[in-house]
Copies of this chain bind each other. A is one copy, B any other.
Amino acid sequence: MQNAWIISIGTELTLGQSVDTNAVWLARRLAEIGHRCDRHITAPDDLEPLVDTLRQAAAQADAVVVSGGLGPTDDDLTRVALARVAGVELAPDARSLAQIRAFFERRGRAMPERNAVQALLPRGAQAIENTCGSAPGVLLRLERALVFALPGVPFEMKRMFDRDVAPRLSADSHGDVLLSRRLNCIGKGESDIGELLADLMRRGANPEVGTTAELGTIGVRINAAGETRAIAEARLEKTEAEARRRLGALVFGRDEETLADAVGALLHARGTTLATAESCTGGLIGKLLTDTPGSSAYFKGAVVAYANEAKVELLGVDPAALRQHGAVSPEVAEQMACGARRRLGADFALSATGIAGPGGGTAAKPVGLVYIGLADGAGVQARELRYGADAPREAIRLRAANTALNLLRLRLLG
């Protein structure tokens, strides 16, 4: 595959004041047309870093896509930097100037004189027409690299990439295609999963397999390259099948599929329903379940019983159990699950009660202690989870919610 670099220009990006959404979009589109993004560099609106970055890219990349720095103001330096690296002068391009004037006329305005600088091109470069903005793009070769400079405004950049850049790069890519897939796993840590897949994760293999830890879930990425889409697809599928064989029930979904989606699909397929009784998760399990469109088919509802009275009043938890064992106990988790199942008329119910912190922990019941309950027609069980007392509230809550959903998933899988 060809090796591409993405360069994003803007001080608002380097200072973290705006989030760069162009780079992710470009990297995915480049992969689809056979260019693997190997570096993404964000540089501020200053000439020296820009020239320095372009010089490196010129020496190391086959293709470079620059976004930003093509505006009409003094801090727009992409044209100047390209000319500097190419060792040529900037000269006005008559056709671009006419297009910029026409762009303003369509909006009923005369072109401000300042915008004339946008029609300057390094000698020998070609303009890339911008039909929805005032900044034309620039195409030129710098040493090894074919360089495309596009505006930073996302919809202008995307339009120009798809219309002019992609066809040009596809022709250059000698046919190679990169396809990707992610298997979403839960139930073991990253190193255990890495061990199960060790030989598939050899460096330089095709497909390439790698793991990423999220909060309580592990993503297994598979990237397959091939001379054609069909070849890449066949490689991807073979490796996916092998990974799934080894990982078994650890895999709950693919690509964007969430754990709640997976649980929902199982409930739906079996014609069964679910309710939740939430204390420390505060509605998070219900929120995750109802992120899935159509979840009303299997999700009856939740009782978020944050206060003890609510546990008694709405879930029928025995006040004596609360006094004797405390709200954070296996007994109360079980009673909460049973109560939600009965009150909401569901086949299954999940409950969660615990100490999400940062306050409220004791030696016997530290922050990070959570009990999960699962009730069905056959009975109820509780499970104890312990996350470090140092884990942030958000992580404890999300891990507890994911563990509860996974408990039900495994039950549904039998």
Q: Are A73 and B283 in contact, CB atoms less than 8 angstroms apart?
A: no
Tell me the residues in window 208-247 of chain A with beta carbons closer than 8 Å to chain B beta carbons.
Answer: 208, 210-213, 215, 219, 221, 223
Q: Which residues of B contact A221 (CB under 8 A)?
A: 11-12, 17
Minimum CB–CB distance for A406 against chain B, Å: 16
Given contacts A73-B201, A195-B112, A314-B343, contact A223 B392 (CB under 8 A): no
Contact A304 B282 (CB under 8 A): no
> Counting CB contacts under 8 A, is A98 at the interface?
no
A194 on the interface (CB 8 Å rule)? yes
CA distance A281 to B282 in the complex (A): 13
By a CB distance below 8 angstroms, the chain B residues around A44 are 38-39
Contact of A40 with B by CB under 8 A:
yes
A287 touches B282 (CB 8 A): yes
Q: Are B180 and A15 in contact (CB under 8 A)?
A: yes
Considering the complex, give the chain B residue whose CB is closest to the CB of A117.
B191
> How far apart sit A391 and B26, CA to CA, in the bound complex (Å)?
20
Residue ID in chain B nearest A190 by CB atoms: B71
Contact with B along A23-64 (1 / 0, CB 8 A): 111111001000011111111111001000100100000000
Q: Are A27 and B39 in contact (CB under 8 A)?
A: no
A289 at the interface (CB under 8 A from B): yes
Interchain CB contact under 8 A, B345 and A388: no
Known: A106-B388, A112-B192. A36 touches B17 (CB 8 A): no
A359 to chain B: closest CB distance in Å?
6
Complex CA distance for A296 and B275, rounded to whole angstroms: 22
Taking CB as reference atom, which chain B residue is nearest A5? B14
Contact pick for A39, options B41, B152, B192, CB 8 Å: B41
Is B291 a contact of A301 with CB atoms below 8 Å?
A: no
Please tell me if A286 contacts chain B, counting CB pairs below 8 Å.
yes
Mark A269-284 against chain B: 1 for CB-CB distance below 8 A, else 0: 0000001101011111
Tell whether, in the assembled complex, residue B10 and residue A31 are in contact, meaning their CB atoms are under 8 Å apart: no
Cβ of A202 under 8 Å from chain B: yes
Residues A300 and B293 in contact, CB atoms below 8 Å apart: no
In the complex, A155 Cα to B286 Cα: how many Å? Answer: 24
Within 8 A of B (CB), among A94-122: 103, 106-108, 112, 114-115
The stretch of A165-173, A305-313, A374-382 in contact with B is A305-313
A/B interface sample: 20 pairs, CB < 8 A: A14-B40, A16-B23, A17-B182, A17-B223, A38-B44, A73-B203, A73-B210, A75-B210, A106-B386, A152-B212, A275-B310, A283-B286, A283-B304, A290-B304, A293-B358, A301-B307, A309-B344, A310-B345, A313-B345, A314-B314
In the complex, given contacts A74-B198, A75-B201, what are 15 additional A-B residue pairs having Cβ atoms less than 8 angstroms apart?
A12-B210, A12-B221, A17-B182, A39-B42, A73-B190, A73-B191, A73-B201, A75-B210, A75-B211, A282-B286, A282-B299, A283-B287, A293-B356, A302-B304, A310-B345
| Chain A interface residues toward B at CB < 8 A | 10-19, 23-28, 31, 36-46, 49, 53, 56, 71-75, 103, 106-108, 112, 114-115, 131-132, 134, 152-153, 155, 159, 178, 180, 182, 189-192, 194-195, 198, 201-203, 208, 210-213, 215, 219, 221, 223, 275-276, 278, 280-287, 289-291, 293-296, 299-307, 309-310, 313-314, 343-345, 356-359, 386-388, 390-395, 397
